[in-house]
Chains A and B, each alone.
Chain A
């Protein structure tokens, strides 16, 4: 799959933003006034900034409002609905903390639930696609949620939670990488089933429909980064998991080290999300003898 920068930024930053909103909604850290204001500004910059960047890959962003209509069937539509509910509820909850010094616990809980639901619906957009076996796994939503909570805990300054959640998300990511490497093969879809000619002999793509490229090849048969995938996995894992945990574990705790941990974690998460797209094989590539 073509790794569109707008979608990579969107999924990483909105994930972290909604993760932070989840922790704030549950009252961690218990802040009010200007401190709460600062936390909410960071959370909204990540969550809303991510959502806005996701509209950059649309062909007709001016029609984006129509995307709220099909929540009965479409995970993308459900994501939009959940995001708007989460942002409105958390804005009210945040106003209570910032302006009135009151913590409306029930509102915070509802906001936290919808924040997590937003991340879940985002992950289901990818998980639902049988055409991309690497994503079509129950671990994909688990991975997205663990990333979101780990990043959220990190930004919320919950050091112990952050260390544990970052480690958990790292383990899930490694399992997903290993499982994903065999996903296309175990999906059972091959050029033989794609052409339904498999029972006659071995099928080979002899000549493509066009001498040039096309939308399908640009979008689905992205193979540029795959030869470096192992190196990128290691880089991503070190930046996302190893460095932040070491920095957080370093006593005494300082804001400078925590900032470094955040930067390192986000850079690693961006690299891992780039791989999430670049390594994903769409079955349509089989028709072109590619994967």
Chain B
């Protein structure tokens, strides 16, 4: 059914820490690897070694520059995948019932054998979380590694999404947002977890933690370390040829 459940027993999702993400794209690669080798149609690459390579990815890492009114610009790496929205517009538009949101854990999935590949769910998603596979012609999306998190054939520490398991910086966290004492609920509460495009009314489950302000290059340079004054450059003026050039040009 492509009507949304009024509520779900659990709300599984991710917390992505923009303060910690180093932009290494390891989550992108582990996601592509796991989801090509396991559940569902593989994630195709077309013209992989040619002049116009393109491929299906369920997770992509953007990088944004944020320039505050005062202070230094900050570079923020921004992983983006399905947010498993509570009010998922991609589900209700599906004409065949292939798209659905699970009542037991809130994961948004596609039943690939029912998908006619019309693409309307990708149109309805504001986040670009759904991609039509160029070879299989069905809609692909993040499954929250539904074939890992409940998989008793895997060691317990591997029963989390591949992107979370692989993140070397610990920037991704997986858990149940319906439980106020879960790791993800606490992180969201303490660090001020944010929704993407709240005005679209999708009520995303995944939350993003804001980056902490970092650069203070232009102020308080002396406070870095008590030894810092000893590291000040001794000769401040240019010498030699550049010194001569500097003096000569000053005359004009």
List chain A positions with a Cβ less than 8 A from chain B: 1, 57-61, 63-64, 66-70, 72-77, 80, 125, 128-132, 187-189, 191, 193-197, 200-210, 212-216, 219-220, 282-284, 287-288
Q: How many of B's residues come within 8 Å of A, CB to CB?
A: 69
* Chain A residues whose C-beta falls within 8 Å of the C-beta of B127 in the assembled complex: 284, 287
- B64, CB-defined interface residue at 8 Å: yes
B123 with A129: CB separation less than 8 A: yes
| New contact pairs (20) apart from A72-B2, A201-B73, A203-B65, CB-CB < 8 Å | A1-B123, A58-B116, A63-B115, A67-B95, A73-B3, A125-B93, A129-B89, A129-B124, A131-B123, A131-B200, A189-B197, A193-B199, A201-B69, A204-B64, A206-B64, A214-B57, A215-B54, A282-B123, A284-B128, A287-B62
A59 touches B132 (CB 8 A): yes
B residues sitting closer than 8 Å to A (CB atoms) are 1-3, 18, 25, 28, 52-57, 60-69, 73-76, 78, 80, 89, 91-98, 114-120, 122-128, 131-132, 134, 136-138, 194-201, 208, 210-211, 213
In the complex, A9 Cα to B74 Cα: how many Å? Answer: 47
Closest residue on chain B to residue A198 by CB atoms: B66
Instruction: Report if A188-B62 is in contact (Cβ < 8 Å); known contacts: A67-B96, A70-B2, A200-B68.
Output: no
Q: Give Cα A128 to B126, complex, Å.
A: 13
Prevailing SS type, chain A contact patch:
mixed
Q: For B25, what are the chain A residues with a Cβ–Cβ distance below 8 Å? A: 209
Q: Is the interface of B mostly helix, strand, loop or mixed?
A: loop
Contact B80 A287 (CB under 8 A): yes
Query: How distant is the Cα of A241 from the Cα of B124 in the complex, in angstroms?
Result: 32
Smallest CB–CB gap between A134 and chain B, Å? 13
Total A-B contacts with CB atoms under 8 angstroms apart: 195
Look across to chain A and name the residue whose beta carbon is closest to the beta carbon of B89: A130
Known contacts A188-B199, A197-B66, A201-B67; is A66 also within 8 Å of B114 by CB? yes
Task: Given A70-B2, A73-B3, A284-B127, check contact A213 B63 (CB 8 Å).
Answer: no
A152 and B41 CA atoms in complex are apart in Å by: 44
- Chain A: which residue is nearest B93 at the CB level? A74
Q: Which residues of B contact A129 (CB under 8 A)?
A: 89, 93, 123-124
A189–B95 touching, CB < 8 Å = no
Residues of A within 8 A of B95 (CB): 66-70, 74, 76-77, 80
* B61 and A66 within 8 A (CB): no
Do the beta carbons of A205 and B62 come within 8 Å of each other? Answer: yes
Contact present for A201 and B208 (CB under 8 Å): no
A194 to B197, CA, bound (A): 5
* Chain B contacts for A188, CB-based, 8 A: 199
User: Given A63-B96, A195-B78, A195-B196, does the pair A284, B126 have CB atoms closer than 8 Å?
Assistant: yes
CA gap between A209 and B62 in the complex, in Å: 5
CA distance A284 to B94 in the complex (A): 19
B200 touches A189 (CB 8 A): yes
Query: Nearest residue in A to B194 (C-beta to C-beta)?
Result: A196
B122 near A219 (CB under 8 angstroms)?
A: yes
